[in-house]
Amino acid sequence: MPSASSQSPQAIRGAFLDFVNDPFYVSDAESVRYIPDGLLIVEKGAIADFGSYADLQAKYSQVEIVTYPGKIIMPGFIDTHIHYPQSEMIAAYGEQLLEWLNKYTFPTERKFRDKAYAQTIASLFLDELLKNGTTTALVFATVHPQSVDAFFEEASRRNLRMISGKVLMDRNAPDYLTDTPETAYEESKQLIQKWHNNGRLLYAITPRFAITSTHEQLRLAGKLLQEFPDVYLHTHLSENLKEVEWVAELFPECKNYLDVYDRAGLVGEKSVFAHGIHLSEDEFKRLSAAKAALSFCPTSNLFLGSGLFKLHKAKSLNQPIKVGLGTDVGGGTSFSMLHTLNEAYKVAQLQTQSLSAFKALFLATLGGARALSLEDKLGNFDPGKEADFVVLDLQATSIMATRTGGLSTRLAQGSTETELREELAEKVFGMMMLGDDRAIHAVYIAGELVHR
């Protein structure tokens, strides 16, 4: 449970939007929860009560209320795939995945041997996340254990629910960035014991990808996952065609890319695979059966020219896969989940699919929580959950105001539920296409205002 400095109840009043079910599988009426004039009660960092102001006001008449007129309050955004050490090399020019790793990523990650440096970048990274309304993330560190310590120390100072882990790489990477199967196992084990469930922090065993781990290293990662079944497995899968070809050469005995991980015991309910662009039918099937998650990283996929993620395939009713969204900074060129939704929409459009604002925002909140098996703690305003949320300004820039102008007040008034929802859909779609960090009016972590 998060500890908040203020122990007395707090109340936030405003328009609240969250999801109680998955709009890919049920109607908007059954999945979207919109309360035009709602009240959120926070106690000891958690949501104590939630409902319409009219229903709750009498019960909490003694509690001081903070009101956000004209804004929309949503659960904090969840980024299911990002690399904190790549913050400073965001938007590096001209390459696709494999060349980009060698030219930019590896030299940058080398610096994280120095813990003080790692701490500086971790701090900057977390500030950027919060500024963009992202309150939880699944985060790559580097191969250096001290890079994980630095990250978790900074996350802990901010009382954030964060998941990270030491990168495992014992081949096809520069000497200065490689470990061995044994050191990878030992160092990860120590880090798990030190950080997993330490406050709000959680650990992910993090082989970079099949190319940079030997079979032996993957096997030991699987052993570790068996010893600590509660920790995550976080890696990359099928991002780039050349990568997929190389994996096939390196693991000729495996029937496909996912099978490399599967044979090592790395495909389970707490496994999160970034990208999954070029998956075969068998791989989709296996991911669904294993209840593993995919992290869809549209900005990165476009920036690195990796390809178009088949979202509607992954979210099909008959073979559902848990999907979250990832910025994938530094392959992604923005920390903003709103930008990420904008790009997700485009990836869908290029495949003649439309991604509605509700589906998109679901992926960024409750969908992300489900992908990270954190649905019991995060993702919506259900009482008992942790009080991480964002206050969104739909008129943050002049063009946003032009596009959504005049709706705020109408939204707060009468209308039928369907009308309200349709107007809201249009309005939040404008926000996701036009918004950036300026639309993040305020951010609360465990009920405390941390960014405004």
Which residues bind to its own copies, rule: CB under 8 A? 87-91, 93-96, 124, 127-128, 131, 302-305, 307, 333-335, 342, 345-346, 348-352, 354, 356-357, 397-399, 402-403, 425-426, 429-430, 433-434, 436-437
Smallest gap from residue 88 Cβ to its own copies (A) = 6
Radius of gyration of the chain from Cα atoms?
21
Smallest gap from residue 61 Cβ to its own copies (A) = 41
Q: Nearer Cβ to its own copies, position 289 or 399?
A: 399
The token pair that represents 33 in the structure block: 């929860």
Q: Nearer Cβ to its own copies, position 200 or 339?
A: 339
Smallest gap from residue 429 Cβ to its own copies (A) = 5
The token pair that represents 436 in the structure block: 């950036």
Smallest gap from residue 311 Cβ to its own copies (A) = 13
In whole angstroms, what is the distance from residue 452 CA to residue 445 CA? Answer: 12
Q: For residue 136, give the amino acid letter.
A: T
Smallest gap from residue 94 Cβ to its own copies (A) = 4
In whole angstroms, what is the distance from residue 369 CA to residue 123 CA? Answer: 23
Q: Nearer Cβ to its own copies, position 262 or 393?
A: 393
Q: Nearer Cβ to its own copies, position 87 or 214?
A: 87
Smallest gap from residue 182 Cβ to its own copies (A) = 36
Q: Nearer Cβ to its own copies, position 96 or 180?
A: 96
Q: Nearer Cβ to its own copies, position 372 or 420?
A: 420
Smallest gap from residue 140 Cβ to its own copies (A) = 18
User: Where does residue 319 rank: exposed (0-12), middle (13-18), buried (19+ CB within 10 A)?
Assistant: middle
Q: For residue 358, give the amino acid letter.
A: F
Q: Nearer Cβ to its own copies, position 318 or 398?
A: 398
Smallest gap from residue 275 Cβ to its own copies (A) = 15
Around 64, how many Cα atoms within 13 Å sit in the side-chain half-sphere? 3
Smallest gap from residue 135 Cβ to its own copies (A) = 18
In whole angstroms, what is the distance from residue 62 CA to residue 386 CA? Answer: 22
Residue ranges with strand state E in 96-243: 134-140, 161-165, 167-168, 202-207, 232-237
Q: Nearer Cβ to its own copies, position 287 or 432?
A: 432
In whole angstroms, what is the distance from residue 142 CA to residue 151 CA? Answer: 10
Q: Nearer Cβ to its own copies, position 89 or 205?
A: 89
How far apart, in Å, are the Cα atoms of 34 and each of 29, 40, 224, 338, 380?
Answer: 10, 13, 43, 19, 11
CB within 8 Å of 233: residues ≥ 6 apart: 204, 205, 206, 221, 225, 261, 266, 267, 268, 270, 271, 272
Q: Nearer Cβ to its own copies, position 43 or 128?
A: 128
In whole angstroms, what is the distance from residue 387 CA to residue 46 CA? Answer: 5
CB within 8 Å of 72: residues ≥ 6 apart: 14, 15, 16, 17, 391, 392, 394, 428, 431
In whole angstroms, what is the distance from residue 279 CA to residue 72 CA? Answer: 37
Give me the residues paired with residue 254 across strands.
none
With contact defined as beta carbons under 8 Å apart, do 408 and 394 qualify? Answer: yes
| Of the candidates 177, 180, 269, the residue with the CA atom closest to the CA atom of residue 219 | 180
Q: Nearer Cβ to its own copies, position 60 or 140?
A: 140
Smallest gap from residue 438 Cβ to its own copies (A) = 8
Q: For residue 443, give the amino acid letter.
A: V
